[in-house]
Amino acid sequence: MDKKRVLCALSGGADSSAAAKLLLEEGYEVEGASMFLCLPDCIDDAKKVAEKLGIRFHPFVLIHTFEQKVIEDFIVTYLRGGTPNPCIECNKYLKFGKFLDMALELGFDYIATGHYVRREFDEKLGRWQLMRSPNREKDQSYVLYGLTQEQLAHTLFPVGCMNKSEILDIVHGDGLVSEDKPESQDICFIPDGDYAGFITRRVGEPPHGDILLTDGTKLGEHKGLMRYTIGQRKGIGVSYSERLFVVDKRRRDNTLILGREDELCRSELTACELNLVRYADLPDGFRCTCQTRYHQKDVPCTLHPLGEGRIRVEFDLPHRAICRGQSVVFYDGNYVVGGGKIE
């Protein structure tokens, strides 16, 4: 039987390096690749890992696609009053989109990554399943809910069931990765974490506007909606007799709305760009749990498909600080049912 060919996405970090080493030990024909998106150091580190493993390395320059699909979406979503999740967009269009397409064109059977998730084929349902990692602290299923059946069929997750300590033993024992190499940043193209500064440098200062209470009382002036987050309490720049939180960023009139903590809670939401993983379709009234933020505790809910890639989610109990632009991901136990982008 011919060896299956795998192109392993290498970042130069511990997880992807361990994934490549494990695949070699399992008998796969492995080569490495890295996407040049914004940080050239990652390419250099990944190439060094490939050299140590004795495998061929492919540098993919995808700066234009990254700029168009990830960075532009990030900026536009913030300017429209939302809160984007660029890692989800990058996974969708780059890591499991363009990267997989290029791997298949080169004749590989699979790609592999260092993500903490599991996948398996359900014979009864006739579908590939995406499942949480047993290592719940590191589980990354929330940011991978957008994977299609075709993408899951051609992707391996060698470290999905492992603990970080096991992975570090693999890469440090062989000297694949330096012990003082830090873990990757949440948002690679903004290493200092100054989102507002990044956007301002790109498009200029955002327009200021009114800060209002939910009853319409004016409290002051904000410095651009992108500088505030739903649920934020500190750093707003107004004083009041009781604690106030950002409860809405109203784009139509460029207004920041503040309210009490109980006014942060919503009983339902709608989402678009729906992607289903576990099932091909959902009945109205489907019961499951969901997360509206990464690493958030699951909450029970009821789903109502609306057609055309949209879905309404009803929470059993009012849910706090829901942000437009973030994703809602549905779970059936450890299985990812699917998810969509919050409207």
d(C-alpha 188, C-alpha 37), whole Å? 9
Torsion of CA 42, 110, 135, 294, to 10 degrees: 70
Q: Which of the pair, 210 or 36, is modelled with greater confidence?
A: 210
For 217-268, the pLDDT digits (tens) are 999 999 999 999 999 999 999 999 999 999 999 999 999 999 999 999 999 9
Beta-carbon contacts of 107 under 8 Å, excluding residues fewer than 6 positions away, are 5
pLDDT digits (tens, 9 = 90+) for 296-306: 999 999 999 99
Which sign, positive or negative, has the C-alpha torsion 192, 194, 197, 199? positive
Confidence band, pLDDT 50/70/90 cuts, at residue 41: low
When pLDDT is averaged across residues 131-141 and rounded to a whole number, the result is 97
Distance of CA 337 to the CA centre of its chain: 16
Q: Is residue 105 within 8 Å of 2, Cβ to Cβ?
A: no
Q: Tell me the average pLDDT across 128-146.
A: 98
Catalytic residue among 38, 161, 188, 265: 188
> Is residue 323 among the annotated active site residues?
no
CA distances from 76 to 68, 97, 116, 247 (A): 11, 21, 30, 20
Asked if 87 is an active-site residue, the reply is no
Q: How many Cα atoms occupy the beta-carbon half-sphere of 139 within 13 Å?
A: 22
Q: 112 forms bridges with which residues in the sheet?
A: 8, 156
Per-residue pLDDT averaged across 113-127, rounded?
98
Top-confidence residue, 37 or 223: 223
Percentage of residues in the chain having pLDDT higher than 90? 92
Residue range 69-96, pLDDT digits in tens? 999 999 999 999 999 999 999 999 999 9
137 CA to centre of own chain: 15
Nearest in space to 215 (alpha carbons), one of 179, 274, 258? 258
Q: By the 8 A CB rule, do 103 and 96 touch? A: no
| Whole-number average pLDDT of the chain | 96
| Options 8, 90, 290, 323, the catalytic residue | 90
Sheet of strand 5-9: strand arrangement: 57-61, 29-36, 5-9, 110-112, 155-156
pTM for the structure as a whole? 0.95
Note the pLDDT of residue 208. 97
Return the closest-CA partner of residue 322 out of 285, 254, 267, 275.
267
pLDDT of residue 178: 82
Average pLDDT over residues 312-318: 99
Helix residue ranges, H only, the chain: 14-25, 40-53, 63-66, 72-79, 86-90, 99-105, 149-153, 164-173, 195-203
What pLDDT score does 39 carry?
A: 64
Query: Which domains does the chain carry?
Result: 5-114+158-173 (3.40.50.620), 205-259 (2.30.30.280), 266-342 (2.40.30.10)
